[in-house]
Amino acid sequence: MKEIDFLPEWYKSGRRRSVTYRTQYVVLGGIFAIMMVWNFFAAGSVSRAEAELSRISAGDAESQAATLAFTRLKDQIGELRKKAALIDDIDAKIDVASVLGEMSFLVDRGIVLSNVELIAERFDDTQGSKQAQRSGSLVRAVRTKSNENETLPVGRVRFKVVIHGMAAKPGDVAALICKLEDSQYFFQVAPRFSRPVQIKPKTSQTLRSSDVESSEKQLAADIKASEFEISCYLANYRQQ
């Protein structure tokens, strides 16, 4: 039995067209939904990337500032090291207060010091000073006007101490020499000279007229003393 289709061809084509349209709408809707989801995740990724880029930029700026500060500090440390080396070269490594304190401790009441000299000598001048001592010549330090061509010995130098004074008895000079030799502050102690002298005392101007005659008789005799000069070196270095 043959089936008879009463539906017209335009109706069938319209139905197929509408099905096709619906399929296309569904596909386009799915694509749009996928694009919206992808855009959401992409926007989040872009935001995170921008935040990370901002953080990296801020860290880069901090790193540049830290690098600049490190370079500046490194230059300052280099300058300070140069100044420290210069100060170390200039520093004579001497404590004058301690030296004078030790000397005042060693000097007895029977000794009066009239002059104490601290003379800086370069270690290269040791040979010349030894030759001068062998030849018997006596070199004294005097104050002279500074010359532009002459330079003061600074830095790694040794100090000669020249002590000049008066002693009540010759034995006091020998005792002072022994004390200087036993002290840890001095070495190479050598007496330069020791000679007897006579000191004439002065009469007092405030005595009463009745006491002038007796006082003049008591002070008529000269006082005997010993003038001396001792040289030594500060023991603030070690010779190898």
Range of the domain at 121: 96-140+153-234
Within a domain: residue 193? yes
Name the more confident of 59 and 66: 66
Statement to judge: residues 101 and 19 lie in one domain: no
Q: What does the block give as tokens for 20?
A: 């096709």
Name the more confident of 59 and 134: 59
Domains contained in the chain, number: 2
Q: What is the CATH number of the domain that holds 107?
A: 3.30.70
Dihedral over Cα of 24, 27, 33, 36: its sign: negative
Statement to judge: residues 131 and 173 lie in one domain: yes
CB burial readout 13-24, b (16+ within 10 A) else e:
eeeeeeeeeeee
Q: Are the C-beta atoms of residues 115 and 165 closer than 8 Å to each other?
A: yes
Within a domain: residue 240? no
- Determine if residue 238 is left, alpha or beta; phi over 0 gives left, psi from -120 to 50 gives alpha, anything else beta: beta
| pLDDT level of residue 76 (50, 70, 90 thresholds) | very high
As a whole number of angstroms, the distance between CA 108 and CA 110 comes to 5
Statement to judge: residues 116 and 220 lie in one domain: yes
As a whole number of angstroms, the distance between CA 234 and CA 148 comes to 29
- Which DSSP category does 125 fall into? G
pLDDT in tens, 175-217: 999 999 998 888 889 888 888 888 776 655 544 544 545 555 5
Statement to judge: residues 124 and 78 lie in one domain: no
Within a domain: residue 72? yes
Using CA atoms, how far residue 192 sits from 137, 175, 195, 229, 230, in Å, is: 11, 15, 10, 5, 5
Within a domain: residue 146? no
Residue with tokens 């001792």, as numbered in its chain: 230
| pLDDT level of residue 79 (50, 70, 90 thresholds) | very high
Statement to judge: residues 181 and 208 lie in one domain: yes
Within a domain: residue 145? no
Q: Are the C-beta atoms of residues 192 and 231 closer than 8 Å to each other?
A: yes
Within a domain: residue 186? yes
* Residue 113 exposure: Cα atoms within 13 Å on the Cβ side: 15
Statement to judge: residues 54 and 12 lie in one domain: yes
Statement to judge: residues 73 and 100 lie in one domain: no
Statement to judge: residues 17 and 109 lie in one domain: no
Predicted structure pTM score: 0.49
